[in-house]
């Protein structure tokens, strides 16, 4: 697989470019993490199968954190280069379809985690391929990501894609915005996602601070 052919690979490259521009100590939207911590997380996720499960499984989180802290001590250029190099040679994510499914949202969201933590950020205009890949992931994953939502959620893209019912709870709130912004919204970045929420006031307020994501 040519690593520059997928949206995930393009987001990976752009994130690495931004890492190099900002350095290891820049803020991110990930609570308690600077850019060095986020970069170390990406290396653990992709290259340390012994530690990666702890990203999602709390009983294993202490070991994951220990490994991540050690990786964060690498020289910054080495850390960024390791991410830029792409998946390991035998990784399934070197297959284009797997890369799209597994890495598009990961690298898009973390790219925005860095961008939107900087002063005077503005929303990007996303290319059609990235929008389509994000929408595919939104259809597949929105219900899981919003499973703890205190209200129903309908995601209504404003860039030409059909609505997605993320949660069938009641009362229901409609979230409107571009696919990229809706992706950030359901991945727990509500405070920085440019979406319009339409529904009962109490339900809208509860969704702004709800626990979304894996």
Any idea what the Cα angle at residue 113 is, between residues 107 and 115, rounded to 5°? Answer: 100
Task: Say if CB 143 and CB 60 are below 8 A apart.
Answer: no
Mean pLDDT over the full length of the chain? 94
- Reported as a pLDDT band with limits 50, 70 and 90, residue 58 is confident
What sign has the CA pseudo-torsion 137, 138, 143, 144? Answer: positive
Q: Are residues 22 and 103 in the same domain?
A: yes
With respect to residue 89, please indicate whether it lies within any of the assigned structural domains.
yes
In this prediction, residue 106 carries a pLDDT of 96
Q: Which domain holds residue 94?
A: 7-115
Q: State how far the Cα of 173 lies from the Cα of 203, in Å rounded to an integer.
A: 7
In this prediction, residue 137 carries a pLDDT of 96
Q: State how far the Cα of 86 lies from the Cα of 92, in Å rounded to an integer.
A: 12
- Reported as a pLDDT band with limits 50, 70 and 90, residue 1 is very low
The alpha helices in 116-146, defined as continuous H runs, are: 128-145
Q: Is the pLDDT of residue 213 over 90?
A: no
pTM recorded for the entire structure: 0.94
With respect to residue 130, please indicate whether it lies within any of the assigned structural domains.
no
Q: How many domains does the chain have?
A: 2
In this prediction, residue 214 carries a pLDDT of 78
In this prediction, residue 2 carries a pLDDT of 45
With respect to residue 90, please indicate whether it lies within any of the assigned structural domains.
yes
- As a whole number, mean pLDDT of residues 173-182 equals 98
With respect to residue 57, please indicate whether it lies within any of the assigned structural domains.
yes
Question: Of 96 and 214, which is predicted with more confidence?
Answer: 96
In this prediction, residue 198 carries a pLDDT of 97
Task: Say if CB 42 and CB 83 are below 8 A apart.
Answer: yes
With respect to residue 23, please indicate whether it lies within any of the assigned structural domains.
yes
Q: Are residues 92 and 149 in the same domain?
A: no
- Reported as a pLDDT band with limits 50, 70 and 90, residue 49 is confident
The reply to whether omega before 195 is within 30° of 0 (cis) is: no
Residue-wise pLDDT tens digits, 128-164: 999 999 999 999 999 999 999 999 999 999 998 999 9
Q: Is the pLDDT of residue 4 over 80?
A: no
With respect to residue 92, please indicate whether it lies within any of the assigned structural domains.
yes
In this prediction, residue 169 carries a pLDDT of 87
Q: Are residues 27 and 76 in the same domain?
A: yes
Residue-wise pLDDT tens digits, 77-116: 999 999 999 988 888 888 899 999 999 999 999 999 999 9
Q: Are residues 184 and 109 in the same domain?
A: no
Beta bridge partner(s), residue 164: 155
Cα 147 from chain centroid (whole Å): 17
Q: Of the residues 80, 115, 150, which one is the last residue of a structural domain?
A: 115
């Amino acid at each position: 697989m040519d690593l520059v052919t997928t949206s995930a690979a393009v987001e990976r490259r752009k994130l690495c470019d931004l890492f190099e521009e900002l350095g290891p100590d820049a803020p991110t939207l990930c609570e308690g993490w600077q850019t060095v911590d986020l970069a170390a997380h990406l290396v653990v996720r992709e290259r340390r199968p012994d530690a990666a499960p702890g990203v999602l499984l709390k009983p294993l989180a202490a070991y994951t954190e220990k490994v991540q802290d050690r990786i964060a001590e690498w020289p910054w250029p080495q850390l960024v280069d390791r991410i830029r190099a792409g998946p390991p040679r035998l990784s399934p994510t070197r297959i284009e379809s797997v890369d799209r499914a597994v890495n598009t949202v990961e690298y898009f969201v973390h790219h925005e985690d860095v961008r939107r933590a900087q002063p005077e950020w503005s929303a990007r205009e996303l290319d059609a391929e990235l929008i389509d890949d994000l929408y595919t992931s939104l259809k597949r994953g929105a219900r899981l990501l919003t499973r703890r939502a205190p209200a129903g959620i309908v995601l209504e893209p404003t860039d030409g894609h059909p609505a997605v019912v993320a949660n069938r709870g009641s009362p229901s709130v409609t979230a409107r915005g571009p696919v990229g912004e809706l992706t950030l919204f359901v991945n727990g970045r509500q405070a920085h996602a440019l979406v319009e929420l339409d529904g009962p006031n109490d339900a809208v307020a509860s969704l702004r601070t709800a626990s979304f994501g894996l």
